[in-house]
Structure 1
Amino acid sequence: MQGTIAPSTTPIPGKYWQWRGHRIYYVQAGEKHTQRPPLLLVHGFGASTDHWRKNLSGLCNDFEVFAIDLLGFGRSAKPKLEYSGDLWRDQLYDFITEVIGQKAVLAGNSLGGYASLCVAGQRPDAAAGLVLLNSAGPFSENQPSPEPEALQTEIEPPAVKPNEQLQKLLGDIVKWIFQQPLAQFVLFQYIKQPWVIRQTLEKVYLDKSAITDQLVEEIYRPACDSGALDVFTSVFSTPQGEKVDVLLKQLTCPLLLLWGEADPWVNARERSNKFRQHYPELTEHFLRAGHCPHDEVPDEVNRLLRDWVLSTVMS
C-alpha cells in the first residue's frame, strides 16, 4: 500500500472553461487512469479551488483530480443571476460531460456537498460515487439549512410555542431587514473584511494552526471581485432547492460521509442519523475537525477517500 504523501499548500495553476457564456475556473492534476474514476472536488460557500490545494496534491498520484470554482465564487465569473442548487447542478453536470468526459466521484464540502448531491441524485449518469464532507442542505422535516451558516440565523423552531412568539417575530424582522439592499450591502462589506473572515474560521476550525494568512487571503480575494455582492444577496432571495431526503431516494451510487465532528454549524451525529435513515448503505467516518475537514486534516481525508474509492467504487 502506498504511503501517505504530504499535501502541499501551494495552489496548482488552473485554466478556464466557457459555460453558458461565463468563464469557469478549474484545476486539473494527475493522470487519467483507465481503471479508476476521476475525482471532482467542489468547495463550500465563499471558498474556491484553493481550499482543496492539500487534497489535489495528496490525491493526484492515485487519481486524475479536478477542482472547480462554482459560478459566483473563486476565480469564476460572478454574473447577476438567481443562484441555486439547480444552477450549480447543471454546471457540474456539464463540466463532467464536456471536460472530464466520463463518470466522476464527486466530493463536496458544505454548499459544494449539496450541489454534488444534486448531481448524483438527479444526474446519475455523471456520478460514479459521492463523498460529502459536512454537507449542507435541508431535510423535509426541518427548517431550511443554515448554509451559508455564518451568514444566517436559524431562529424559527419547527413548532412555535406561545412563549416563543416574540422570538419568532424578531426572527421575521431580522429576515426582512437582511432582504433590504442597503442592509445586504453593509453586512457584506463587514463580513468580507479579513479580520472577520479570520474570526469566522476560528469558530469553525478545531485546529487553529490551519488558519493561515494564505487561507484568509484566498477567501478575501474573490469577495472583492465585481459581482460578489450580487452573489451574496442572492442567498437571501433564492428559492430553496430539493430536499436532501428526496435526493437520497434518487441516489444510486456509493456514498461516503466524512464528518468534522467539532463543526458548530452542522450537528454531525444528528445529520448522520438522518442520512442513514434515507440511505442506510452509506459509509461514514467521524474526524477530529471542524466544518472543513479536508483542509484541517487533509492527510486523513485523503487516505479515507482514496481507500474508499479503491475498495467500494471500483469493486
Structure 2
Amino acid sequence: MEEKFLQIDGNKIRYLETGNSKATLVLIHGLGASAERWDQVIPLFADDFHVIVPDLIGFGYSDKPLVDYTPEFFSDFLEKFFVEVDVKRPNIIGSSLGGQVAAEYASSHPYGAEKLILVSPAGIMKQSTPALDAYIMAALYPNEQSAKNAFELMEGSGNDVHEKIVDGFIERMRLPNAKLAFMSTVLGLKNSEIITPKLQTISTPSLIIWGSNDPVIPINYADNFVSAIQDCRFYQMDGCGHTPYVQDPHTFTSVALEFLKGL
C-alpha cells in the first residue's frame, strides 16, 4: 500500500493506493477520520480492485483550508480528486459522512460511479445522539479518555477499542486547523437540506449496509435511503455499531464483494 499526495486547488491531499485490477474501488471515510479507518478491509479488497483511499480535504493528513465544509463542497472535492487520479466510473464505498458525500456525488453525476455502497450514511438524521455528542467532544478536547469513551460508544459492543485507533484520532485532531474543519463540517451537515430529494435522482446500483447496534446514526434511518434510491439493496450487520468494516471486516468485505462483483 503506497502513501501518495496530490494538489487540488492549491491544497495538498493525501491518499493510499494499492491493487492492480482494472476495476477501481474508492473508500471514503467519515467525520474526523482518515484513510486508516479502512485499514482492515483495504487488503481484502486489493485482490479484486485497484483501491484508492483519500483523506478527505479537512481531515487526516490532507490540508485543512479555512472554508465552509458543506456536503456540496465535499462532492466537488471528490469530482476533482477523481480527475487528478485519472479515475472514471469507480465503485465507491462511503461511511457516515463519506456515505453522504458519495450519495451527493452520485446524485450530481448520474454516470460518475459504477456501483455505490453507503455504510450508515449521514444526510437524513438532523438531531444528535449521545454517541455523536461524545465524538464531537473528543474532537474538541482530544485526549485518551475522551477519545476512548467516544469510540467505545460508537462501536456499541462494550468491547475495548484498539489503542491504535484512539492514538491516531488524537494525533490527527491536534493538527493545525483540524478542530475548525471538524466543526465546520458538523455545522455544514446540520444546516444542509435533508438529502432525500437527491437520493431519488440516484440511478447507480446501490447497497446500504448498517450496523444493527449503531448508536451514532440509528438503523431506523436505513429505510429512508433504501426506499428513496431507485436500485437499492440493504444488508444489516448484526452485532455491529457505526463502523462494521472495523468490527467485522471479513463479513463486511464478503457482503460488499458479492454486490460489487454481481455474484
Q: TM-score, normalised by structure 1?
A: 0.76
The Cα shift of 1:237 comes to 4.3
Q: Identify which range, 234-243 or 222-231, moves more after superposition.
A: 234-243
Amino acid at match of 2:15: Y
Which residue of structure 1 lines up, in the alignment, with residue 133 of structure 2? 151
The correspondence for 2:217, drawn from 258, 266, 286, is 266
CA contact (8 A) 2:91 2:114 kept: yes
In the alignment, which residue of structure 2 is the partner of 1:108? Answer: 94
Counterpart of 1:248 (choices 176, 199, 202) is 199
Distance (whole Å) between structure 2 residues aligned to residue 232 and residue 147 of structure 1 = 17
Specify which of 267, 285, 293 is matched with residue 244 of structure 2.
Answer: 293
In structure 1, what is the Cα distance between the partners aligned to 2:232 and 2:156? 26
221, 235, 240: which one aligns with 2:171: 221
Unaligned 5+ segments in structure 1 are 1-11, 154-183
Instruction: Answer with 94-103 or 37-46: which moved more.
Output: 94-103
Structure 2: unaligned runs, 5 residues or longer: none
Question: Residues 49 and 74 of structure 1 are in contact (CA less than 8 Å); yes or no, is this contact kept in structure 2?
Answer: yes
For 2:191, give the aligned amino acid: Q
Q: Specify the SS of the correspondent of 2:215.
A: coil
Aligned to 1:125: 111
Aligned AA for 1:278?
A
User: 2 CA distance for matches of 1:127 and 1:65?
Assistant: 14
1:277: Cα distance to partner? 2.6
> Structure 1's 145 and 18: CA in aligned 2 closer, same or farther, altered over 3 A?
farther
Decide whether the 8 Å contact of 1:30 with 1:62 is kept in 2. Answer: yes
Aligned residues between the structures: 261
Q: Counterpart of 1:150 in structure 2: which amino acid?
A: L
Deviations 1:50-94 (A, max 9, x none): 000111111101111111111110010011111111111011112
Q: Which one has a bigger Cα radius of gyration?
A: 1
Measure how far apart 1:21 and its partner are: 0.5
CA contact (8 A) 2:203 2:229 kept: no
Matched letter for residue 83 of structure 2: T
1-structure distance, mates of 2:17, 2:129: 27
State the alpha-carbon separation in 1 of the partners of residues 4 and 233 from structure 2: 33
Report matched runs for 1:1-315 at 5 Å: 12-33=1-22, 37-138=23-124, 144=126, 146=128, 150-151=132-133, 189-190=140-141, 192-209=142-159, 211-235=161-185, 237-238=187-188, 240-268=191-219, 270-279=220-229, 281-287=231-237, 288-311=239-262
Q: How far apart are 1:243 and its partner, in Å?
A: 2.6
TM-score when scaled to structure 2? 0.91
Question: Does the 8 Å CA contact 2:152/2:160 hold for their aligned counterparts?
Answer: no
Are the equivalent residues in 2 in contact too, given 1:207–1:296 (CA < 8 A)?
Answer: no
Q: Does the 8 Å contact 2:134/2:146 carry over to 1? A: no
* Aligned-residue offset at 1:271: 1.5
CA RMSD of aligned residues (A): 2.4
Q: Relative to 1, partners in 2 of residues 1:30 and 1:253: Cα closer, same or farther, differing over 3 Å?
A: same
Residue 244 of structure 1 and its aligned partner are, at CA, apart by 2.0
